[in-house]
Amino acid sequence: MKWRFPAFGLFAALALCLFAMPAHAQTAEGTPVSVVPPKYDIAREVTLTGTVSSVVKSTTSEMQMLGGSHLIVQTSSGKIDASLGGYTLKAEGALSVSPGQQVQVTGVMKTIRDQQVFVTRLVQVNGRVYRIRNEHGFVLAPEPGKGVTKPEAKGGQL
C-alpha cells in the first residue's frame, strides 16, 4: 500500500511530542500547581523512631489511605502513616513487624490526597534494615528467591 502523504506520520508524531507537557492547574493567585505528586527528594529525607501502633496490610474505605501496606507509628511528635508500598509485607523474606515493636523509619513526608503520608524508603526493626524504595522513591520489586524487601546487615547505611 502506498502512502499519499508520507510526511503526515512524522508530522503527527512531532505534534504529539510538542503537546506532551506536564499537567498543571492554576491556583487563585495564578501560579501553576503540578497535578502529579512531587518527586521523592532524598535531600529532605528524615529518620523517625517510634512504636508501631498498627499494621495495615491493605486499604480500607474508612481509612482512605494510599494503596499498599502501612505502619501507623507513634513518635514523640505524634502518629505518622508510614506508607510501605504493595509488596513489603507479602511473600517469603518479607518485613515482619507487629504492634508494640520499636521501629526506625527513613523517608520523606508528603501530602497526598490531602493527607500527610510518610513515604518510607528504609525500615529498621529487630536489628535489620529493610530497603523498601530506592533513592528515587520507587518501590523495590521482589527478587525471585530472595524475598520482597532487601535486608541489610545491622549497621547498614541509613
What is the rounded radius of gyration, in angstroms, for the C-alpha atoms of the chain?
A: 21
- Mean of the pLDDT values across residues 62-82? 82
pLDDT at 109 over 80: yes
The mean pLDDT of the chain is 75
Task: In whole angstroms, give the CA distance from residue 40 to residue 18.
Answer: 27
Q: Which domains does the chain have, with CATH numbers?
A: 42-152 (2.40.50.200)
* Structure-model confidence comparison of residues 48 and 9, the more confident one: 48
pLDDT per residue over 77-106, tens digit each?
Answer: 999 999 888 767 776 667 888 999 999 999
* Structure-model confidence comparison of residues 62 and 107, the more confident one: 107
Full DSSP string of 55-111: EESS--TTT-PPSSEEEEEEETTEEEEEEEESSTTSSTT-----TT-EEEEEEEEEE
Confidence label for 53 from pLDDT (cuts 50, 70 and 90): very high
